[in-house]
Amino acid sequence: MARFIRKSKHEIGISPDDLLFRGEKKSDKVILSIIDFDSENMEEKVISSVDEAMQYQTRDTVTWFNIDGIHDDKVMDDISKRFELDKLILADVMNTQVRPVMTEYPNCIFIALKMLQHDEKTGEINSEHLSIILTKSCLLTFQEREGDVFEPVRNRIRQQRKRIRSSGIDYLTFALIDTVIDNYIYILSLLGEKIDVLGENLIDNPKKQHIDEINNYKKELNFLRKSINPATEMILALSKTESELISDSTEIHFKELLENIKLATEASDSYREILSDQLNIYHTILSSKLNDIMKFLTVFSVIFIPLTFIAGIYGTNFDFLPELHYKYSYFIMLGVMLVLALGMLRYFKKKKWL
Amino acid sequence: MARFIRKSKHEIGISPDDLLFRGEKKSDKVILSIIDFDSENMEEKVISSVDEAMQYQTRDTVTWFNIDGIHDDKVMDDISKRFELDKLILADVMNTQVRPVMTEYPNCIFIALKMLQHDEKTGEINSEHLSIILTKSCLLTFQEREGDVFEPVRNRIRQQRKRIRSSGIDYLTFALIDTVIDNYIYILSLLGEKIDVLGENLIDNPKKQHIDEINNYKKELNFLRKSINPATEMILALSKTESELISDSTEIHFKELLENIKLATEASDSYREILSDQLNIYHTILSSKLNDIMKFLTVFSVIFIPLTFIAGIYGTNFDFLPELHYKYSYFIMLGVMLVLALGMLRYFKKKKWL
Amino acid sequence: MARFIRKSKHEIGISPDDLLFRGEKKSDKVILSIIDFDSENMEEKVISSVDEAMQYQTRDTVTWFNIDGIHDDKVMDDISKRFELDKLILADVMNTQVRPVMTEYPNCIFIALKMLQHDEKTGEINSEHLSIILTKSCLLTFQEREGDVFEPVRNRIRQQRKRIRSSGIDYLTFALIDTVIDNYIYILSLLGEKIDVLGENLIDNPKKQHIDEINNYKKELNFLRKSINPATEMILALSKTESELISDSTEIHFKELLENIKLATEASDSYREILSDQLNIYHTILSSKLNDIMKFLTVFSVIFIPLTFIAGIYGTNFDFLPELHYKYSYFIMLGVMLVLALGMLRYFKKKKWL
Amino acid sequence: MARFIRKSKHEIGISPDDLLFRGEKKSDKVILSIIDFDSENMEEKVISSVDEAMQYQTRDTVTWFNIDGIHDDKVMDDISKRFELDKLILADVMNTQVRPVMTEYPNCIFIALKMLQHDEKTGEINSEHLSIILTKSCLLTFQEREGDVFEPVRNRIRQQRKRIRSSGIDYLTFALIDTVIDNYIYILSLLGEKIDVLGENLIDNPKKQHIDEINNYKKELNFLRKSINPATEMILALSKTESELISDSTEIHFKELLENIKLATEASDSYREILSDQLNIYHTILSSKLNDIMKFLTVFSVIFIPLTFIAGIYGTNFDFLPELHYKYSYFIMLGVMLVLALGMLRYFKKKKWL
Amino acid sequence: MARFIRKSKHEIGISPDDLLFRGEKKSDKVILSIIDFDSENMEEKVISSVDEAMQYQTRDTVTWFNIDGIHDDKVMDDISKRFELDKLILADVMNTQVRPVMTEYPNCIFIALKMLQHDEKTGEINSEHLSIILTKSCLLTFQEREGDVFEPVRNRIRQQRKRIRSSGIDYLTFALIDTVIDNYIYILSLLGEKIDVLGENLIDNPKKQHIDEINNYKKELNFLRKSINPATEMILALSKTESELISDSTEIHFKELLENIKLATEASDSYREILSDQLNIYHTILSSKLNDIMKFLTVFSVIFIPLTFIAGIYGTNFDFLPELHYKYSYFIMLGVMLVLALGMLRYFKKKKWL
């Protein structure tokens, strides 16, 4: 799980438009691919250079240009020049530390967000920096490595009947962001399940490892919030933008998406509170158990202490100790001890310690 | 009690206007029913197809078209076509995970909210997804299954004198939402009662099960808040809307309703705080009891430890131990022990441990 | 002390303009009284019917029509008809669960608030639902039962020189609300005193009953906040209203009143925090005492345990136990024990346990 | 230290323009003094009546009229008439319970605030109600008693070169409020120092008196916040006012003052949090110490309990107990005991209890 | 680490435009240096007087005038006169207690902020007051002492190709502030690393020193927030200013910087919460350990207490104690003891104490 903020010493003071990759390299290759479609036709292709992408741009179709691998400054420089995008934007594409945000530029909208994906095998959450650039004729998406997160969207494009085929670039943008948010909600939903299970185990039989779990879930939740909260701001901005690049009908979709992500925010707030409560409950149950332990020890000690003391008295070696010489002394002593012990037990029962 | 957020893997990335039922199926049947009225006449009827409903729409009356069962995509598709509603809206009707919200469309207002009902027999709270679509000529309501929540409203419609009979579709909408909110407040009121009882028991005699109760009430409260808070936003939007579908006089009713639901929000905030306090109080009482237990053990131990030690000394078998041979040694020892014990008791009394 | 929210099952879904009394009945009678004045003359009278009040309304004077007892729907219906007030307003007058609020209607301003009064004898706080209706020619006030809360205002009216005599209905409204807020502040001030006393007792000598007290004061504070917070909103609305019924000069008074009630809000926030702190402090003092108890037990046990062990060794009955037969063994043993005990004591002193 | 809110029963319902002194009387005398200056001349004078002050008002100079002692209703009445101020304003001047506020009246600005001063000798904080009335031709200040808080401002006026001499009444107002805020910051700075010292002592050696200190500092901080927070609102209002009485250039000074007081607010928030943390840390250290105590007791008990038991066995008086009669039994027993004790010690070392 | 607020008694009430150094003196010298550049040429020079700087101002180049050492009122007075800056501004430059802020004056923009730098050798954070004055023809920066924080910016200026060389004074301002913020993020990132390590150690093996660490990190975080939070406000103001001194294209940079600093704010919020959680976890682990200790003691005591009691009984010296005289009594006793001990162990296993 990534830390909340990360900056190395040599990154201080560098120019904001330096095309410098900042982050952990997750892929060596750069894969360029094009999906080009309108309501009638559809073309899917892996291309070898940025130049090749340019031909689609002039067409009257929706062009989705996807770049997997964001570490190659030459490719970025090419894109900057060919698509006439400010180098500032591409510098942000290459910086995995950029906060999720939507920025309007004169000729494009730049969207940065975190793509989270739950790995079914390892149970881990993979985080990836995703950049979307929306221009008049083309949608550019940048991922850190090859992945299948957007496969459902591609499938929808491949089916001719779907709304996505007859809509524009802005609707495609919405569909992609919608998929990312769906993943957030799915991950949150899995976390919620684990927190629920923990909650039940905790009350039945609290163990030290539960503290670990609470702590880990808190971290995971914090990590999720770090993606969800700025994404909310971003979607709000998209649903209110006056840019010509986003049509009114797509803004309605963004508004609905905003309600979805609010649901996620509310759920994450609730889980946070629940985890805090669980730590408190854990602590309280520990105290409750300590009370039980101490009651047990006290009852046991308090019953035997006086009995042992009595035995100790008759274990003394005084020459003149009259009780030692009566015939039934021993049995009387045993009887007295029994009465004492029973009296104690009754007292503790009255005190509700037993 | 439902979890805060729920999403299955196959729901990721599907199109927002797919007519796909999302949730737990609560009914197999789909029941369509019509209530049509003006100040003079009133008609109630169960109908068999969406087509049948269309004839009422052209009339100059208030038409309330209720659909129980939201899982049938064919019915939804029919409604979408017949009433000229965007498929997006019907997709939301079929999605029980939609956050309570009010959205204005060009030809209608869509309202989603959670209908909570306290089951008197089991003591459980049933949650149901309720959708309301308000068009110029008709009010459509969608419930997950047949129910009697709106019976009081139907009764008011059946009585000719009531204001509802002479008012429009917007007032009917208000009356339905008002009934839903009344149920929220009723459930909150029942919960409040249980929290009050718990509070008293807790201070008198704290038991481990109380932690369970506190935890459960917190969950219940969180669940309620999940319905109440977005409903507040929704009613605020309704009380401020500039839509022609809602008249100024009905907006006043929504404003008043807003005050009612604020009452609910404030009460739920108070209960939340009280539950947190109760856990703290529970913990503090445990500590107080532990102190009592430890005082008891300490007093008892500290009194007998030196006495047993003295007896131990005179139980040694030294050849030369002068005290053993004096005639009154034994009685002197007993006397010394008594004095010691009484001194200790006095000391503890002074220390306020007794 | 009333609960935070209260709703019975049969209240769900009833019409908002039903003239139905909701609450606990506090009086059987309905008393109607009129105070009518201008800067020159003043008339005070108990009247027997709503009709009788009408004659004052046409005059050019300030008319204050007070109704004690809000359970009689016939009286309310009369008022609604005579004063041309919407039945909705009178339904709110009869509902003691209405949240404090100010609503502007075309021909009047409706104000609902809670009147709290400290009963000097029992020390309890009496809460009453107060409704004020401000029309062009008359001020109507509705109380749940006869009371003397407004006596100071009546006294000011009875004195000719006072500003109230030469001001209008709006200033009278202000004077009444001002009196209600003064009572809030007075009650809060009494509570503050009790919290201060508790705070001192707590640190000196914490007892279990203090938890009870903290808990009760918290409840009382929550109850007060439930009245104070919406009243703040209400007064803010009054100080900003553009209604013709309230003059600019009276708005200045409401602004000043707003500062007063903010003072109350801030004080109640502070008291809340203090009570939370007190519970924490209580818990911490308990822990501190437990440490003292355990130190005491440990010191005592640790000193005597080895001594008793030594005595135990020389209490064994081995045939060959050389020490038993030396002449000074016993005294040497006692000496060793003394040295051990003193050494222990010194160790504990060094450890600051003594 | 004053309580957060204070109201006596007889203050309920009195008229807001009654010239009634409310508070603790801190001075018997009323001292009237005038400072009158422009960039060239300066005059300082104690006067005996309000009338005497009027002559300065007509001049084209800056007139500062200071009144020490606010309990005399006759003086207030004179001022009200002579300076044509609403009696409401003077009633607020006489009420020490008024919340710090800035109110604009048609012919003046009224400012109420708390003047706090640290008494170097007693270490206590003296709180005083300060009212400032800013009219076109004169600045009136009202203090509860004679004091030297404004001496630095008077000194600046006495020096001809200073900006204050060539500026207007509004700059003088700023200079006075600036001095009051400087005192807030100074007091907060002293409190911060004490909290720092406490923090260090607490971790080194927590004592019960530290709870007292934390509690007292919290109270002091709450008291300060009660003055600082509304003063912030007041200064914000002054920096934004459109009143002609305050020039644009002086508004810049108020804006800068606003930054200063924000610094104070932030510092007080930080200290509050630190104090809460300190209570938590105190509690945690107590728990840590309890663990040490219990480890010590447990180690000691657990080592000696079995040894004493073994000695007990050989202290029994059975006729047939073979071990008693072997020659080296005693030494073997001692050896076994030693081995047991060493084994235990090793076990505890492994468990990190030693 | 500096305290949150600091004010000495003699600073109360002094004039806001007094050129008085307030803070700890960190340097004796005052070093004046000039960097002057346009896209073609660049000149770097240390100058000996303010006069010398004036010649650059008239040129059509970007002039950056840096002053190291802010304690010399003569230099400040010179700057005030030569650059026609209000003495108020220079007074703020000399006051290290000024809160980070951006103020627009008619002829300049004044920016105050804290420059934090991590000292790699000592691990300490050096805080310095930094003032930036942006005029039409010149950028003035004031540091408390010579330093190398801005070296990366100087290096970028020295390279001809860089954007900074072809941009104006406003972009230079951005580059400097950007560098300061980068340092904030770097320091926060280092702190985050230490908190992570602490978190792991804490759960594995909590020690008392960890409380110290938590406390210190909290203080450090509070200190950072004190710089970060007002800087956020300042950058927001810069990104929204309508001043002609800052061009639209530079405002976009400030907007991006705002996102960066928001990242820092969010991270600091998360760390704060994590530290609070860690203290709670520490406390809970202590309780968990105490439970283990007490279980151990209880099990041990409870097993041996009855055995020792039995041995005590047969250590009594009664004349008639039949069991003493049977041949196998001793072995029977040992057997009974063994059975008892095993039974106890089984009981504790069932209770899950072992």
Query: Which one of D17, D301, D321 has the shortest CB-CB distance to C163?
Result: D17
Residue E3's pLDDT is what? 65
What strands, in cross-sheet order, belong to the sheet with B125-134? B42-47, B31-37, B62-68, B138-143, B125-134, B108-118, B101-105
pTM of the predicted protein model: 0.88
Residue D294 contacts C where some CB pair is shorter than 8 Å: yes
Specify the CATH superfamily of domain C13-283. CorA soluble domain-like (3.30.460.20)
Is domain A286-350 given the CATH code 2.40.30.10 in the classification? no
Buried b (16+ CB within 10 A) or exposed e, E323-338: bbeeeebbeebeeebe
CA–CA separation, C9 vs C12, rounded Å? 6
Residue A26's pLDDT is what? 81
Residue E206's pLDDT is what? 85
Per-position DSSP letters for B70-128, written without gaps between them: ---HHHHHHHHHHTT--HHHHHHHTBTTPPSEEEEETTEEEEEEEEEEE-TTT--EEEE
Chain C segment 302-341 residues within 8 A of B by beta carbon are 304, 307-308, 311-312, 314-317, 321, 323-330, 333-334
Q: Report pLDDT digits (tens) over D140-163.
A: 999 998 888 899 999 999 987 778
Query: Which one of E4, E294, E334 has the shortest CB-CB distance to D271?
Result: E4
- Tokens at C118, concatenated: 């400290």
Residue C272's pLDDT is what? 92
Q: Output Rg (C-alpha) for chain B, integer angstroms.
A: 35
- Tokens at C170, concatenated: 């709006």
For residues D345 and A25, which has the higher predicted lDDT (pLDDT)? D345
**Residue A1 confidence class, pLDDT cut points 50, 70, 90:** very low
Residue C1's pLDDT is what? 45
Residue C186 contacts B where some CB pair is shorter than 8 Å: no
CA–CA separation, A293 vs A300, rounded Å? 11
Residue D2 reports pLDDT greater than 70: no
Q: Does residue C141 contact residue C148 with C-beta atoms inside 8 Å?
A: no
Q: Report pLDDT digits (tens) over A76-98.
A: 999 999 999 999 899 999 999 88
Percent of chain D exceeding pLDDT 90 equals: 68
Span between the terminal Cα atoms of chain D, in Å:
49
Q: Does residue B228 contact residue B264 with C-beta atoms inside 8 Å?
A: yes
Specify the CATH superfamily of domain C291-350. Magnesium transport protein CorA, transmembrane region (1.20.58.340)
Residue D123 contacts C where some CB pair is shorter than 8 Å: no
Fold of the domain built from segment(s) D9-283: Beta Polymerase; domain 2 (3.30.460)
Percent of chain A exceeding pLDDT 90 equals: 68
Set of chain C residues whose Cβ sits within 8 Å of the Cβ of B288: 208, 211, 286
**Residue D3 confidence class, pLDDT cut points 50, 70, 90:** low
Q: What are phi and psi of E127, to 5 degrees?
A: -110, 135
Q: Average pLDDT, stretch D239-266?
A: 91
CB atoms within 10 A of CB B11: 18
- The answer to whether B284 contacts C286, with C-beta atoms less than 8 Å apart, is yes
Most confident of B117-126, C7-16, D62-71: D62-71
Residue E121 contacts D where some CB pair is shorter than 8 Å: no
Pairing of strands B138-143, B62-68: parallel
Q: Average pLDDT, stretch B33-48?
A: 92
Rounded to 10 degrees, the C-alpha dihedral D338/D344/D346/D350 comes to 180
CB atoms within 10 A of CB C236: 17
Spans of all domains in chain B:
13-283, 289-350
Residue A31 belongs to what H/E stretch? strand A31-37
Q: Residue C152's closest CA among D18, D88, D92?
A: D18
CA–CA separation, E58 vs E61, rounded Å? 8
B55 CA: distance to closest CA in chain A (Å): 31
Which positions ≥6 away from C312 have C-beta within 8 Å?
Answer: B312, D307, D308, D311, D312, D315
- The answer to whether C230 contacts B262, with C-beta atoms less than 8 Å apart, is yes
- Tokens at C24, concatenated: 């606990």
- Tokens at D300, concatenated: 């000691």
Q: Does residue B314 contact residue B336 with C-beta atoms inside 8 Å?
A: no
Q: Report pLDDT digits (tens) over E281-314.
A: 999 999 999 999 999 999 999 999 999 999 999 9
In CATH, what number does E12-283 get? 3.30.460.20
Residue E193 contacts A where some CB pair is shorter than 8 Å: yes
Q: What are phi and psi of C273, to 5 degrees?
A: -60, -40
Q: Output Rg (C-alpha) for chain E, integer angstroms.
A: 35
pLDDT mean across residues, chain D: 90
**DSSP single-letter state for residue B130:** E
In CATH, what number does B289-350 get? 1.20.58.340
Set of chain E residues whose Cβ sits within 8 Å of the Cβ of A293: 291, 294-295, 298, 353
CB atoms within 10 A of CB B166: 14
For residues A75 and A2, which has the higher predicted lDDT (pLDDT)? A75
Percent of chain B exceeding pLDDT 70 equals: 99
Q: Average pLDDT, stretch A311-316?
A: 94
Instruction: Provide the strand spans (E) within D52-195.
Output: 62-68, 101-105, 108-118, 125-134, 138-143
Least CA distance to A282: which residue of chain B?
B211
Helix (H, G, I), strand (E, B) or coil at C63: strand
Rounded to 10 degrees, the C-alpha dihedral D251/D257/D261/D267 comes to 140
**Residue B147 confidence class, pLDDT cut points 50, 70, 90:** confident
Percent of chain D exceeding pLDDT 70 equals: 99
Query: Which one of D164, D266, D294 has the shortest CB-CB distance to E293?
Result: D294
SS3 sequence of chain E: CCCCCCCCHHHCCCCCCCCCCECCCCCCCCEEEEEEECCCCEEEEEECCHHHHHHHHCCCCEEEEEEECCCCHHHHHHHHHHCCCCHHHHHHHCECCCCCEEEEECCEEEEEEEEEEECCCCCCEEEEEEEEEECCCEEEEEECCCCCCCHHHHHHHHCCCCHHHHCCHHHHHHHHHHHHHHHHHHHHHHHHHHHHHHHHHHHHCCCHHHHHHHHHHHHHHHHHHHHHHHHHHHHHHHHHCCCCCCCHHHHHHHHHHHHHHHHHHHHHHHHHHHHHHHHHHHHHHHHHHHHHHHHHHHHHHHHHHHHHHHHHHCCCCCCCCHHHHCCCHHHHHHHHHHHHHHHHHHHHHHCCCC
Fold match, B13-283 / B289-350: no
Residue E172's pLDDT is what? 95
- The answer to whether E212 contacts D192, with C-beta atoms less than 8 Å apart, is no
CA–CA separation, A93 vs D125, rounded Å? 57
Assigned CATH class of D290-350: mainly alpha
Set of chain B residues whose Cβ sits within 8 Å of the Cβ of A353: 293
Residue C13's pLDDT is what? 80
Q: Residue C76's closest CA among C93, C61, C59?
A: C93
Which positions ≥6 away from B149 have C-beta within 8 Å?
Answer: B115, B117, B143, B179, B180, B183
In the predicted model, residues of chain E with pLDDT beneath 50 are: 1
Residue D160 contacts E where some CB pair is shorter than 8 Å: no
Buried b (16+ CB within 10 A) or exposed e, E13-48: bbbbbbbebbbeebeeeeebbbbbbeeeebeeeeee
CA–CA separation, C206 vs C283, rounded Å? 9
CA–CA separation, B148 vs B118, rounded Å? 12
CA–CA separation, E321 vs E338, rounded Å? 22
- Tokens at A202, concatenated: 């905790």
Which positions ≥6 away from A89 have C-beta within 8 Å?
Answer: A80, A105, A108, A110, A133
Burial class for E271, CB neighbours closer than 10 Å (0-12, 13-18, 19+):
buried
B180 CA: distance to closest CA in chain C (Å): 8
Rounded to two decimals, the ipTM of the complex is 0.84
Q: How far is CA A223 from the centre of its chain?
A: 5
Phi-psi region of D286 (alpha: psi -120 to 50; beta: other; left: phi over 0): alpha
In the predicted model, residues of chain C with pLDDT beneath 70 are: 1-3
Q: Which chains are within 8 Å of A by 3+ CB pairs?
A: B, E
CA–CA separation, D1 vs D7, rounded Å? 16
Q: Residue D243's closest CA among D131, D113, D109, D138?
A: D109
Residue D264 contacts E where some CB pair is shorter than 8 Å: yes
**Residue D1 confidence class, pLDDT cut points 50, 70, 90:** very low
Q: How far is CA C197 from CA C191, C214, D122, E218, in A?
A: 10, 11, 24, 34
**Residue B1 confidence class, pLDDT cut points 50, 70, 90:** very low
